[in-house]
Amino acid sequence: ESVPATKTIPPQVINPRLDNHIQNVPELTSCELTHHPLHSDFNLYESYSGLNQNPSHNNYFDVSNTCNFHNVGNFNLGFDFLEELIRAANCFDTHDLQLAQVILDRLHQRLRSPSGEPLQRAAFYFKEALQSLFTGSTWPNPVRLSSWSEIIQTIEAYKSFSGINPIPMFNHFTTNQALLEALDGSAPLIHIIDFDIGFGGQYASLMREMAERNDHSRKFIRITAVVPEEYSFETRLIEDNLNQFAQALRLRFQIEFVLLPTFETMSFKAFKFINGENTAILLSPSIFRCLGLQVAAFVSDLRRISPSVVVFVDSEVWMESGTTTSFRKNFVNCLEFYAMMFESLDAAGGEWVRKIETLLLRQRIFSAVEVAARTAAPAWREVFYEAGMRAVRLSQLADFQAESLLQKVQVRGFHVAKRRAELVLCWHKTALIATSVWRC
């Protein structure tokens, strides 16, 4: 489905106070790491800066045919390694692992490091991910952070990513706006169940907005986050920083963590619910990867708790359908997606581009290749509709926030579009992330 241009928002629908508030985002006030004295002055939620502009754009892909790279305009300008990479991916579908290893050995000689054009850098990481998939190796682990220094570097990379690319803030502010609209004027006790909390920085702006409202003294925010077993470093960091931030704003706040294996066993019975609280659910594709074919049961259990709102942030828009059985097709779509993302980073420029790719996007690529290789789960939209959930269009204020964010980043090539009831952030013709709101 083509993504139409976003409609212009009439100026009269914009609240002047919120207009002023949006012009100052992203403004994440600082919280310090309290358990690491060497980094006691490191600010997790401080403001981002250093936004650059670079209008360059090279379209490597023929988006009308993402499985045929022979139509790529720059194919014979040193990018013939794509054919080899896709042949290796095709070996997964044909179960010819011996041929795949021969091809990957050749690629190791050609793609020795993540350097060159965006497509070359993306191809290097996809080659590494494919090698890991075929061999079943787990080293070097692209996902786990094992020390404070690694966490610090990753947070710094994430802050830089948020400063030069609108994807993280688009996620945060569209989600927060949906929460504020759904929970505004509701019960004083708000319970947010988050299945993909990351480092938790997105809650800084939500708390600030709630603190600025006249009725904030009546609000009590509870967050329950579902996290992997090995998330001990991150949970302590998130809890300390968000508690400090809430205290500074004089908000009543509580956060709890539920381990993923516990949730897989107990489902929503693993959470504590309080009579009269208003519940919101935040989802991303990651939870569906963990649940596999149990998505329908998950959505059925979700409906039983009657949340006020369900916000779904689709960070895997490259997946055309959850039911496709072609690893090659998913692999190519994903490669195209990340090549475009790397290109959008190059358009902004800056010394942090390579670190962002290494510390953040590399692990996402490894995970994405694993997703493409697994037995497909049902398409989440179909499951939502079959369970009786209905999509709710985001407000014009959410549209305005997204447009204002792009003006702040000031990198040509990004635009906001609408697709069905989703609000979509695009880089030229490529959709990068989509936010949708659902009601039971």
Q: Write down the residue that tokens 């579009």 correspond to.
A: 417
Both structure tokens of 224 = 């329950």
Greater model confidence, 61 or 50: 61
Secondary structure letter of residue 187 according to DSSP: -
* pLDDT tens digits, one per residue of 289-330: 787 768 889 999 999 999 999 999 998 888 755 545 688 988
The alpha carbon dihedral of 381, 386, 197, 246 has a sign of positive
Region 372-393: mean pLDDT is 84
Q: Residue 235: is its pLDDT beyond 50? A: yes
* pLDDT tens digits, one per residue of 154-209: 889 999 998 888 999 899 989 999 998 888 766 678 999 999 998 898 898 899 88
* pLDDT tens digits, one per residue of 100-124: 999 999 999 999 999 999 999 999 9
pLDDT at res. 394: 87
Q: Residue 31: is its pLDDT beyond 50? A: no
pLDDT at res. 325: 66
Least confident of 41-45, 207-211, 333-337: 41-45
Least confident of 129-138, 225-234, 303-312: 129-138
Angle between helices 232-249 and 202-211 (to 10 degrees): 20
Region 417-427: mean pLDDT is 90
The CATH code that applies to domain 148-316+378-439 is 3.40.50.150
Region 208-237: mean pLDDT is 82
Most confident of 31-35, 146-150, 177-181, 355-359: 355-359
For 213-299, list the strands marked E by DSSP. 220-227, 252-259, 278-283
427 pLDDT band, cuts 50/70/90, is: very high
By DSSP bridging, strand 309-314 and strand 430-439 are: antiparallel
pLDDT at res. 377: 65
Q: Residue 397: is its pLDDT beyond 90? A: no
- CA distances to 218, 333, 387 from 321, in Å: 43, 11, 18
Greater model confidence, 31 or 133: 133
Q: Residue 389: is its pLDDT beyond 70? A: yes
Rg (CA), the chain: 22
Instruction: Please state, in angstroms and rounded to a whole number, the distance separating the CA atoms of residues 405 and 301.
Output: 35
Q: Residue 17: is its pLDDT beyond 80? A: no
Q: Residue 70: is its pLDDT beyond 50? A: no
Q: Residue 254: is its pLDDT beyond 90? A: yes
Segments of the chain assigned to CATH 3.40.50.150: 148-316+378-439
Angle between helices 81-94 and 118-135 (to 10 degrees): 30
Instruction: Please state, in angstroms and rounded to a whole number, the distance separating the CA atoms of residues 107 and 96.
Output: 17
Secondary structure letter of residue 137 according to DSSP: -
Greater model confidence, 434 or 407: 434
Region 208-235: mean pLDDT is 81
pLDDT at res. 385: 92
Q: Residue 126: is its pLDDT beyond 50? A: yes
Q: Residue 42: is its pLDDT beyond 60? A: no
pLDDT at res. 73: 35
Average pLDDT over the chain, rounded to an integer: 78
Most confident of 74-83, 318-327, 360-369: 360-369
Least confident of 43-52, 78-87, 279-288: 43-52
Greater model confidence, 136 or 390: 390
Both structure tokens of 144 = 């786990």
